[in-house]
Chains A and B, each alone.
Chain A
Amino acid sequence: MLSSKASCNSHGEDSSYFLGWQLYDNNPFHGVVNPTGIIQMGLAENQLSFDLVESWLRKNLDAMGLKKDGESVFREALFQDYHGLPAFKKELVEYMAKIRGNKVTFDPNNLVLAAGATSANETLIFCLVDPGQAILLPTPYYPGFNRDLKWRTGVEIVPVHCWSSNGFRITMSALEDAYQSAQTLNLKVKGVLITNPSNPLGTTMTREERSHLITFAIAKNIHIISDEVFAGTVFDSPGFISIMEAAMDRSLENENPGLWNRIHIVYSLSKDLGLPGFRVGMIYSNNETVVSAATRMSSFGLVSSQTQYLLSNMLANKKFTSKYMKENQKRLKRKKEMLVSGLRTSGMECLKSNAGLFCWVDMRHLLSSNTFEAETKLWKTILCEVGLNMTAGESCHCSEPGWLRVCFANMSQATLQIAMRRLRDFAER
């Protein structure tokens, strides 16, 4: 009666990632009302810097009320042009450049708005890959990709295995192996999708990794999609180098225009600015055909003009964005350090990270056996007995059991302290 998409499980929402969420929803921690509830450490949201955005809002009531200099601009409610509000795109590309230390500049005409990075990623796949073809993804990766990239597109994901032995860095041989696997499965590889900074690792890509990717993409004549939604969460050295900067450094526009036209960035305001509810995502591409097709496809997920108007005003305030970026990074770093030391006290180490809203934690020594069954058991114990919802590495398609993603930016200092105390008690047992 219904389509296979509607009736099957390929939305991927039965994985533990979502299961943990559900249990949390039934028994959420609250400092006063439910102090023994489950603490949500599986949600990669940035809740540390709202006060900064709110104070800007209080001083800019007009932008919220669809007014400009006291006059109504309510007509913006009619604006549904899929090319996006020009003022908003202009501010976005300037903001994106600023995050990249102004070492790259972006052309607003190459930017396509989408209803969140979720929409942007799916749209890019629709543009670049046919059903039954494949894209390569380094593991571990964001659990939502199974739904976003595969569900309605009919595209396959082939993992590029990364290992703790070298800090989960992408190697040339891992890329080659993945390509071979795809061929064995009779899958045509159209591209590789990387998340940089990485979710769930919290690390930025090294020069070597970038170099491998570019060499690989040239050799195989495939696309590179760089999901840079966490670009604004880099709080420590080494800094962030966008794929676009790497491409420019290698003069790809002149040396290899083919690859230049096969590099695409996905971005969003959900992680940096902490505004996931506003559904602001985007695709950036040097490829005119992709920009044009993605623009038409964005009809299926345009950004509310009310939101475009508000945020174009906010991002136009350069004083605000500078202050926000600096302060936000400071707070992220502080919170992360709190988490790292708290974990250390419980005998757990994390992968050294310089970005993101989470840490990638090594709990292999707590496994009863070196298996994913043992990992699931551990994850469930931490969820149900310790009352902390973390994300098991298996749901991130990690190739080795024992790693968990633990978020830190979605809770107060007090809550984090309680979480760490619970963990300490558990570790001592």
Chain B
Amino acid sequence: MGLLSRKVTCNSHGQDSSYFLGWQEYEKNPYHEVNNPQGIIQMGLAENQLSFDLPESWLAKNADAAGFKRDGQSIFKELALFQDYHGLPAFKKALVDFMAEIRGNKVTFDPNHIVLTAGATSANETLMFCLAEQGDAFLLPTPYYPGFDRDLKWRTGVEIVPIQCTSSNRFQITAPALEEAYKQAQRKNLRVKGVLVTNPSNPLGTTMRRDELDLLINFITDKEIHLISDEIYSGTVFSSPGFVSIMEVLKDRSLEQTPVWERVHIVYSLSKDLGLPGFRVGAIYSNDPIVVAAATKMSSFGLVSSQTQYLLSAMLSDKKFTKEYMAKNHKRLQKQQSKLVSGLEKAGIGCLESNAGLFCWVDMRHLLSSNTFEAEMELWKRIVYDVKLNISPGSSCHCSEPGWFRVCFANISEDTLKLAMQRLKSFVDSVAINNQSHQELKNSRKKFRTKWVFRLSFQSFHDREQDER
């Protein structure tokens, strides 16, 4: 009899993947402008650090909200005792209004249908517990956020079956891809309970088009399954085309009174838009009152601190603040993204055209020694250890084609970004020179040895990934 549970002794938390490994390397040698200018620059962390001065200055002008006061009166006792899993009503109201604002007020949300959770991590897991049994499956378009392997599968026992998307059509979801994924699940004897999409997409940084959303609705209607739309990046859309929420499409198609309406659920969070990941504010929004009721009870396992609910209800109720924040935040994101894109261009590297998110989906296929994931790993390791940039390899996002990398831009300063791009350019230039000289000298033995060295280090790495699978 095992001493600990199987969940602990197996590796399904997925934390041996390169996504986390890169983080570890960064932590051993983190870049610092003054203290460690040769260190690794963290470009694998999808955090928005560009705009926190805005809530910071709001806080300075609104000490009462942090000081447990309402209209000058202390409400400390009320808040300290408040552990009602229905959530602080004022906060839920402010949150749904904020969500509507992000969607250009083209949809409205009912605060009675929102469930607060400790971050989107908790929200996603809770939805799995509500919608699926152990051994059921959810379909996810690739590439997807590496953390989903842990969040959706680990403690729930739910399986993920990928919907393969490719660069040939800019990684959009197609009807054949959906059908193929469904069949794949059936071949594995897995009952499909739903589809989970991230819109705007992590790691692509793109918003879903209306026809993709239509396709999804048709698919889940036909198969009678659920759709979870993880919209945590909805507030990071900084250029056109704008953001179209799944709710908007359902409304436009007048599907409110049909069964599919109650099978669509949204996950949201303030970690990306407002850049407050430490505060652990996530939410599930569902049109199905039974899901709302069950998720509400489950939220006991991850309630939001009342101290935080109160502070943010005051902040989000300040419409002047939210309007100013959204406008400034979008501008800063756009500016930083274009700096990344042009920096990459100078290094001869292209990326998927994006209008949202805190990262770009970068095309480094031309830098691969071969069109394989082994080559992708080789390249990734060189970028982490030699170029000293921690970026996320596409394989950790379950991308079906090698050579793509997610590169974050919103968690570093403009100067750091500039430096990162310089390092990258130098690296690319040196690779070009190397390749040229190799061709000229036909020194294939050196190349072989380099490959051999990397294959060795790749091997132990690969073994770990194998365990995880």
Contacts and interface: CB of A to CB of B under 8 A. Distances in A.
Interface of A: 1-7, 11, 13, 45, 47, 50, 53-54, 57, 61, 64-66, 72, 74-80, 115-116, 118-119, 122, 126-131, 147-148, 151-152, 154, 188, 221, 262, 270, 274-279, 289-290, 293, 296-297, 299-307, 310
Interface in B66-107: 66-68, 74, 76-77, 79-83
Nearest to B312: A306
B302 A307 contact: no
Interface stretch (B169-177, B275-283, B401-409): B275-283
Contacts of A122: 301
B81 A274 contact: yes
A275 B305 CA distance: 10
A350 to B, nearest CB: 25
A262 B121 contact: no
B8 interface: yes
Interface of B: 1-8, 13, 15, 47, 49, 52, 55-56, 59-60, 63, 66-68, 74, 76-77, 79-83, 118-119, 121-122, 125, 129-134, 150-151, 154-155, 263, 271, 275-280, 288, 290-291, 294-295, 297-298, 300-308, 311
13 contacts: A2-B290, A50-B76, A64-B63, A64-B67, A72-B59, A77-B55, A78-B47, A80-B271, A128-B5, A275-B80, A301-B122, A302-B119, A304-B280
Q: Which 6 A-B pairs have the closest CB atoms?
A: A305-B278, A277-B306, A6-B294, A304-B305, A301-B302, A74-B56
Contacts of B4: 127-128, 289-290, 293
A221 B3 CA distance: 9
Contacts, number: 207
A53 B76 contact: yes
Contacts of A307: 305, 307-308
Contacts of A302: 118-119, 280
A289 B56 contact: no
B140 to A, nearest CB: 18
B302 A11 contact: no
Interface centre among B129, B133, B300 (most CB of A within 10 A): B300
Given A126-B155, A303-B280, A276 B80 contact: yes
Contacts of B154: 297
Contacts of B63: 61, 64-65
A291 B49 CA distance: 30
A306 B52 contact: no
A427 to B, nearest CB: 31
Contact of B305 (A53, A72, A303): A303
A311 to B, nearest CB: 9
Contacts of B306: 277-279
A2 B294 CA distance: 10
Contacts of B77: 47, 50, 54
B7 A126 contact: yes
Interface centre among A6, A116, A119 (most CB of B within 10 A): A6
A279 B305 contact: yes
Given A57-B76, A78-B277, 10 more contacts: A5-B294, A6-B130, A65-B66, A80-B278, A126-B155, A131-B134, A278-B307, A302-B119, A302-B280, A306-B308
